[in-house]
Amino acid sequence: MTDRALAVVRAGALTTVQDLGRPGHAHLGVPRSGALDGPAAALVNRLVGNPPGAAVLETTFNGCAVRPRSTVTVAVGGAPCPVTLDGRPVAWGAPVHVPAGALLDVGAALCGVRSYVAVSGGVAVEPVLGSRSTDLLSGLGPAPLTDGTVFPLGPRGDTHARVDVAPQPAPPAELVLRVTPGPRDDWFTPEALRAFTSRAYRVSPASNRIGLRTEGPALERARPGELPSEGMVLGAVQVPPDGRPVVFLADHPTTGGYPVIAVVSAADLPAAAQAVPGTPVRFLAVRRR
Amino acid sequence: MRVLPVGEEALLVEVASDDEAQALHAELLRRRAEGSLSVREIVPAARTVLLDGLADPARLSSELTAAEVPPAPPHGREVVEIPVRYDGPDLADVAAHWGVPEREVPRIHAGTEFRVAFCGFAPGFGYLTGLPPRYDVPRRATPRTAVPAGAVALAGSYTGVYPRSSPGGWQLIGTTDTVLWDHARVPAALLAPGTRVRFVPIGAAA
């Protein structure tokens, strides 16, 4: 068995294929999608010598196990977790040589939510609108992994990783999200605006790739009624009628009708992708650059 | 026209009407095509156009605030025709809302030229405008858990066609076999913002 393919032995709770996503199609109702923790995905790609746009696996909480049919280099990053090769511990956050037919098990996250698995050559499923990302809102891209799925792998590049191991940020004990106000902050009472940036929230277990949901003080609107649907950006903090802020992540809808009180700085979203339910969240108001 | 900053690299431009949003959208597409506007996403909606992925949103904001937007140019593009069987389960309810006999609904709907005001909800789902305000209908009190692909539906002032089966609260008036979204096709979406649309009755109502 020397064909370039990857067999899924244990799919895990939710493992998807992710790359840089498919920006540029929002006007057709197509979400951007892509790896939620972009820097982690980029790093594992670099560790195995892949270009930044190669597709990796994104796990959720409990990892996954795969068996490559040809010899490959693999790197696991993002949420720290035990990694074994045919049952023997191997490095996390570093390139690992995986012989054809060996079983690579990416264990449950010790902290954080999402681990990233890069395989040399990248997962080479057919792209949809230029991307191999699974989009859980609209169902574009490959379905989430199931046991027994076999994915083709791309050809190995000539590039070799220039690093053996790389530091990665620890998942946040407290998630501090810098926000710029608006565009619909005028839909909220002054008390709600104060509460939003001064009170403590927690990450809700209902969070997913579409949005980081929060629990905490409900934000009261200053005006009733509905907002006509308008375009939504990554990091938008939408406030549904229950008053609990939702931070839009990669699979967010392209338009929406609930008012956006503020927008989270793009630099803080990778940490949001790694915040486990119950993590304290603080929205920190900053001035626009 | 009001320009609202959105985060660090986007602007939401708000106008007073659907027609103004259409004109602004056309003008922004023209500027992008001629190379004077560099932007990742231009997302029109009901009363707004979102510009995302801007290098210098503050500068564009002051430019746009001072700009005169010419009316939308008449479309040279052909009209997309969508054959419809007017057999939806909500036909009678829609007729009651409109205050017309049920058989009049297909005649009025198919006699209207629509335009895709914007897309959203699902890839390839267009919000089509064209019916006069007296034909607005509310959403259903209880949304259906599964609306079939190809369902032609009404809500508020909009008509839409479900690209694939999904939950939905719109009033269903008909069915089409036309494929609204096929990512293996170029373009994948049959309907994009600005596309003109006519529904052509087939079957009993034809």
pLDDT digits (tens, 9 = 90+) for B20-56: 999 999 999 999 999 999 999 999 999 999 999 999 9
CA dist B103 to A241, B106, B134, B149, Å?
39, 6, 18, 24
pTM: 0.94
pLDDT for A205 beyond 50: yes
Q: Does B121 touch chain A (CB under 8 A)?
A: yes
What's the confidence (pLDDT) of residue A289? 67
What's the confidence (pLDDT) of residue B206? 62
How big is the A-B interface in CB pairs under 8 Å? 111
Tell me which chain B residues have a C-beta less than 8 angstroms from the C-beta of A28: 119, 123-124, 188-189, 192
Per-residue DSSP letter, A47: H
Domain range A175-285, its CATH number among 2.60.40.10, 1.20.120.1770, 2.40.100.10, 3.40.630.30: 2.40.100.10
Query: Which one, of B187, B147, B141, B184, lies nearest residue B163 by Cα?
Result: B147
Query: Which one, of A268, A261, A245, lies nearest residue A175 by Cα?
Result: A268
CA angle B171, B176, B179 (to 5 degrees): 115
ipTM of the complex: 0.94
State the average pLDDT for chain A: 95
Give residue-wise pLDDT tens across range A133-174.
Answer: 999 999 999 999 999 999 999 998 766 666 677 778 888 889
Query: Which one, of B4, B160, B166, B52, lies nearest residue A180 by Cα?
Result: B4
CB pair distance less than 8 Å for B4 and A182: yes
CB pair distance less than 8 Å for A230 and B5: no
CA dist A238 to A31, A44, A225, A232, B149, Å?
16, 32, 15, 9, 29
Report d(CA B134, CA A122) in Å as an integer: 55
Mean pLDDT across A210-228: 94
In chain A, CATH 2.40.100.10 covers 175-285
A195: left (phi over 0), alpha (psi -120 to 50) or beta: alpha
Per-residue DSSP letter, A240: -
Query: Which one, of B161, B187, B125, lies nearest residue A254 by Cα?
Result: B125
pLDDT for A1 beyond 80: no
Q: Mark out the alpha helices in A95-253 (DSSP H runs).
A: 190-198
Q: Judged by CB atoms within 8 Å, which residues 81-120 of B form the interface with A?
A: 118-120
Option in A29, A140, A288 nearest B119 (CB): A29
In chain A, the N- to C-terminal Cα span, in Å, equals 55
CB pair distance less than 8 Å for B192 and A30: no
CA dist A51 to A43, A151, A206, Å?
10, 18, 33
* Cis check: omega of the bond before B167, within 30 degrees of 0: no
Tell me which chain A residues have a C-beta less than 8 angstroms from the C-beta of B47: 228, 230
Q: Do the Cβ atoms of B197 and B75 come closer than 8 Å?
A: no
Report d(CA B195, CA B75) in Å as an integer: 9
Option in B45, B124, B192 nearest A229 (CB): B45
What's the confidence (pLDDT) of residue A167? 78
Q: Residue B159 in 3-state DSSP?
A: strand
CB pair distance less than 8 Å for A228 and B124: no
CB pair distance less than 8 Å for A28 and B123: yes
Query: Which one, of A244, A275, A288, A282, lies nearest residue A112 by Cα?
Result: A275
**Chain A residue with the nearest C-alpha to that of B41:** A24
Distance from CA of B47 to the nearest CA of A (A): 7
Residue of A254, A269, A287 for testing the chain B interface, max B β-carbons within 10 Å: A254
Query: Which one, of A40, A16, A11, lies nearest residue A251 by Cα?
Result: A16
Q: Which two three-digit tokens encode residue B59?
A: 């500068």
Mean pLDDT across A94-106: 97
CB pair distance less than 8 Å for A28 and B124: yes
CB pair distance less than 8 Å for A236 and B6: yes
CB pair distance less than 8 Å for B41 and A255: no
pLDDT above 90: percentage of residues in chain A? 90
Report d(CA B24, CA B37) in Å as an integer: 13
What's the confidence (pLDDT) of residue B75? 65
Option in A28, A183, A256 nearest B5 (CB): A183
Q: Do the Cβ atoms of B47 and B127 come closer than 8 Å?
A: no
Report d(CA A270, CA A201) in Å as an integer: 18
Report d(CA A233, CA A254) in Å as an integer: 7
Mean pLDDT across A122-130: 97
CA B32 to chain centre: 21
Q: Do the Cβ atoms of A272 and A108 come closer than 8 Å?
A: no
Option in A28, A180, A253 nearest B7 (CB): A180
Report d(CA A236, CA B4) in Å as an integer: 14
- Could you tell me the pLDDT band of residue A225, with boundaries at 50, 70 and 90? confident
**Chain B residue with the nearest C-alpha to that of A254:** B120
CB pair distance less than 8 Å for B46 and A236: no
Q: Which two three-digit tokens encode residue A171?
A: 């998942």
B203: left (phi over 0), alpha (psi -120 to 50) or beta: left
State the average pLDDT for chain B: 94
SS3 content of chain B, % helix, strand, coil (to 5): 25, 35, 45
Give residue-wise pLDDT tens across range A38-76.
Answer: 999 999 999 999 999 999 999 999 999 999 999 999 999
Distance from CA of B100 to the nearest CA of A (A): 28
Report d(CA B52, CA A24) in Å as an integer: 9
**Chain A residue with the nearest C-alpha to that of B5:** A183
- Which residue ranges in chain B fall short of pLDDT 50? none
What's the confidence (pLDDT) of residue B105? 97
Query: Which one, of B146, B145, B150, lies nearest residue B162 by Cα?
Result: B150
What's the confidence (pLDDT) of residue B68? 84
Q: Do the Cβ atoms of B181 and B163 come closer than 8 Å?
A: yes
Report d(CA B118, CA B74) in Å as an integer: 17
Q: Do the Cβ atoms of A265 and A286 come closer than 8 Å?
A: yes
